[in-house]
């Protein structure tokens, strides 16, 4: 699971049943409590969408 805090930090937690690094935390193990996902540090994430096969995060910047 993933959640966005008011300050833009993305928190991740849950079970990576297939041990593929699905949570994006740099490991393939269960994370029982929410922890800051450092892949998104220094970015203010405004939206996030995830499924069992992929994920996407929007930081609000416009890139052409």
Q: What is the pLDDT along the chain (64 residues), one digit of tens a residue?
A: 777 888 778 888 877 666 555 666 666 677 778 888 888 888 778 888 877 677 788 887 766 6
Q: What is the pLDDT of residue 23?
A: 64
- Rounded CA gap, 40 and 36, in Å? 8
List the domain boundaries for the chain. Answer: 2-58
4, 55, 57, 27: CA torsion to nearest 10:
60
Planar angle of CA 28, 32, 33, nearest 5 degrees: 120
Planar angle of CA 13, 59, 3, nearest 5 degrees: 20
Structure pTM?
0.68
């Amino acid at each position: 699971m993933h959640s966005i805090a008011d300050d833009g930090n993305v928190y991740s937690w849950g079970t990576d049943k297939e041990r593929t690094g699905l949570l994006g935390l740099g490991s393939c193990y269960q994370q029982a409590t929410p922890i800051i996902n450092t892949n998104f540090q220094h970015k203010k994430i405004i939206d996030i969408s995830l499924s069992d096969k992929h994920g996407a995060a929007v930081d609000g910047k416009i890139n052409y």
